[in-house]
Amino acid sequence: MTAKWTPKPSLPPPALEKGIGGWIYKNLFSSPGNAVLTLLGAALLLWAVPPVVRWALLDANWIGQSRSACDPLSADAPTGACWVFIKVRLGLFVYGFYPDPERWRVNIIFVVGALALWPLLAPTLFKHSRVQVVYSIAAVAVVLILFGAKPAGAALGFFGLPFLLARISLKKRLPTEAGGIKGIAPGAGLALLGALAVYGGLRWLLGPAPSGAIATLAALLCLPLIFAKPLSVMLWRGIFLFTVYPLFVFFMLVGGVLGLPHVETHYWGGLFLTLVVAGSGMVTALPIGILLALGRRSEMPVIKTLCVSFIEFVRGVPLVSVLFMASVMFPLFLPEDVNVDKLLRALVGITFFYAAYMAEVIRGGLQAIPKGQYEAAQALGWSYWKMMGLIILPQTLRLVIPGLANNFLSLLKDTTLVAVIGLLDLLGIAKAAMADVEWLGFTKEAYVFAAAVFWTFCFGLSRYSVHLEKKYHVRYR
């Protein structure tokens, strides 16, 4: 006789292993020591967080336009923060002394920059060309609504040209190896056509004066690009962001040539100065850093010596002294009638300073690439630049993302040091705001605000670097 075997129903997991209770037990109270630590931590949070929240949010003054809204004498409990102080001078914090009627120019570079950056930061969302097209049209429409026809014309060129360029190079793939007359003639024709188109567009946008020169420059820059391999819309976007956009920013901010009033860098300040310094520093320091790193590993003695001495010299001095040098000493060496803009001097100083640091980070990455990679490329008969550009550097840069992100973050925060040479960045403006006779005694608010803004940008940057790391699967396991 066979007894049918029926398994007993399985026992439920022990109470301490499941659910919220289990999680709490496992993670917070697994041993007496941990339990003590947990309780201490909770007590610390309870002690520290509520007063901060009460100060910054619950008891804070948000309403009003003048000092009296937060006057300690008029209110019964003057315990909270006075955000009115920040509110009334928000313009100063964001634009510095940039003249009021011209502030839209700062806005437009913010808006166009953000619109151009988004597809590059999140390329997965923009895989389909249809999404790209719709997004570009939307971007132009945003600019049209916010700023009017002429800026929209510029935006149309900025967002539309990548499609055109990608199409041209995809369809007419010119034989690069054949070269010679056959290759150059249609390329030159295309460049000429493009230059004419650019010239026409610029005439309409900016008036006659500088457009011819810019168009010629654009044509000259585009000529080699036509012979290059076909590039996707996305890549053209990237190229535009690093070539056309800085020019656009420069002309918009400085003015003078575009029928826009000239605004000297003396009037720049606040958050936008911080972003200009940090942005241009990051964009220019990285390529210089790569070149320095390659130079330091080069076998040519002159180049190697130059790179090593530059890097070691720059790493041996603090940034403050570099800025001080650029702002105070440099003008003394110049003839009296030559005057290099103070901001430009500071920018060059910061760029070279950070280039040296980035060079060392990148050199660390270069050393991690196995020798076989170099040898394989050389066995294929590739030139030095082709080997570096296509095999070594892509792997290197992927490896050094955390180090580079580190440098970028410290660059962003070090922009506050421009205050020592009389440029008022976000923190400088905040400090100046504390000395306003009408608004004495709101130092906490000013510092907290500046810290919050810096934290937002730095946190965004570091999250983006984590995203990049994940995307390129950098794992050291």
267 or 385, CB closer to other proteins? 267
Instruction: Return the closest-CA partner of residue 82 out of 99, 97, 63, 96.
Output: 63
Contacts to other proteins by CB under 8 A: 72, 88-89, 91-92, 96-97, 266, 317-318, 320-321, 324-325, 327-329, 331-332, 334, 336, 339, 342, 420-422, 424, 428-429, 431-441, 443
How would you class 80 by CB atoms within 10 Å of its CB: exposed for 0-12, middle for 13-18, buried for 19 or more?
Answer: middle
CA distances for 264 relative to 97, 102, 250, 254, 337, angstroms: 10, 12, 12, 6, 18
Q: Reduced to 3 states, what is the DSSP secondary structure of residue 309? A: helix
The Cα 124–Cα 116 span in angstroms is: 15
Quote the least distance from Cβ 279 to other proteins, whole Å: 23
98 or 147, CB closer to other proteins? 98
Residue 300 neighbours by CB distance under 10 Å = 10
Residue written as tokens 């150059």? 184
Q: Reduced to 3 states, what is the DSSP secondary structure of residue 423? A: coil
62 or 459, CB closer to other proteins? 62
Quote the least distance from Cβ 67 to other proteins, whole Å: 9
398 or 444, CB closer to other proteins? 444
CA distances for 289 relative to 55, 106, 354, 474, angstroms: 44, 29, 8, 22
Which is it for the CA torsion 429, 430, 435, 436, positive or negative?
positive
Quote the least distance from Cβ 273 to other proteins, whole Å: 13
- The answer to whether residues 213 and 200 touch, using CB atoms and an 8 Å cutoff, is no
174 or 326, CB closer to other proteins? 326
The maximal CA–CA distance of the chain, rounded, in angstroms, is 115
Residues in Cβ contact with 275 at an 8 Å cutoff, skipping those fewer than 6 apart: none
Instruction: Return the closest-CA partner of residue 350 out of 321, 310, 317, 323.
Output: 323
Quote the least distance from Cβ 89 to other proteins, whole Å: 4
98 or 158, CB closer to other proteins? 98
Quote the least distance from Cβ 441 to other proteins, whole Å: 3
Quote the least distance from Cβ 382 to other proteins, whole Å: 45
32 or 335, CB closer to other proteins? 335
Quote the least distance from Cβ 112 to other proteins, whole Å: 25
189 or 318, CB closer to other proteins? 318
Quote the least distance from Cβ 87 to other proteins, whole Å: 9
87 or 203, CB closer to other proteins? 87
Quote the least distance from Cβ 83 to other proteins, whole Å: 13
The Cα 136–Cα 132 span in angstroms is: 6
